Structure 1
Amino acid sequence: MNKLLPPKTSNCKIFEEWYEYDANGNKIHYKTSDEYEIWYEYDGAGNQIHCKTSDGFEEWREYDANGNKIHYKTSDGFEAWYEYDTNGNKIHYKASDGFEAWYEYDEKGNQIHCKDTDEEESWFEYDTNGNEIHWKNSDGYEEWREYDANSNEIHWKTSDGFEVWYEYDEKGNQIHQKNTDEDESWFEYDEKGNIIYKKTLHKPQKKV
């Protein structure tokens, strides 16, 4: 797998990630080169219902009959509840810490507006294929996204000058990513298209 990357240099950091799946394609194990791990469990419908990390943190999820997540809780006592409209779009989120958010959609089911109890609002725009192309919030922050003919995201940029570029193989799997911080990532997949390996080269930030 080292052939995917240029030679390692002493002033660069390499970060690796591995993924495992069950027979149904559900991710059941995640591991990193710094020895962090996550294990996942699913119900009969393929919904993730539990995960546990190597540092002991746990999460639980509950779903309605349509497979929409309606309850989430963690081992540190945090909880959240979700509500949906008749089309399955999430319209309300409420957390145990008092935070709430409300969501609005267009006639195609694209989320176009969000507001929350922190008095922040967000607006979304889409292309004719339903791909999100623009996002902005009430703080003045913005994001733009570009896509290829297959609706694969190939470019992302933000109003603070950060950019990311993405490359794909002939099957539509993302195989390479780089950003304006000069970080780069390479990806490998199994025959079913599940990501099984990711390697990231972090370059040191330039001192000003």
Structure 2
Amino acid sequence: MSASLSRFNVPETLDELPEDIRTNILAVQEKAGFVPNVFLMLAHRPAEFRAFFAYHDALMERESETLTKAEKEMVVVAVSARNRCLYCVVAHGALVRIYSKDPLLADQVAINHHVSPLSERHRVMLDFSLHCAIEVGELTDQWIDRLKNVGFSQEDCWDIGAIAAFFSLSNRLVTLAGTPPNEEFYLMGRVPRG
């Protein structure tokens, strides 16, 4: 493994890692066909790796009331773009393309969702995401009304805010470590699988 994956120590081999982390990484490798660099970067601190992915999975893998997987990933991309986190824009942009089956959507969300051909639901969701990630993030009655008017529940408001907050943390850690996105992410969801 390459030290260029992080400014901090990364394991030389997966055998150096605790069994549970090694098993987790190998499962991701089997599903994706490669090991995302963020897994190796976070393996620098095993306890933090476990906590990070436990919260990640609690947010991103749980069924929301109306929020889809594509919408969750759109939140990640919008927040990550605003935080200038190349890794998360590229990696989660791939997931937006895959879940939405739209090869253009991730780029539109990352650059400027206000001029993109998005639904009002998605514009409000992304506005609220940035409010939570960049501004104070207070859930006011006005925000509740705006979000409910486009079909989100109170629980969805939590999910959107929590994803925005969590990925603000993730953006900062990846930037701190200088972890680049895997090349594989760039084409995922853009071109048909061969």
TM beyond 0.5: no
TM-score (norm 1): 0.24
Q: Please report the TM-score for the alignment, with normalisation by the length of structure 2.
A: 0.25
**Between Structure 1 and Structure 2, which shows a larger proportion of helix residues?**
2
Greater C-alpha Rg: 1
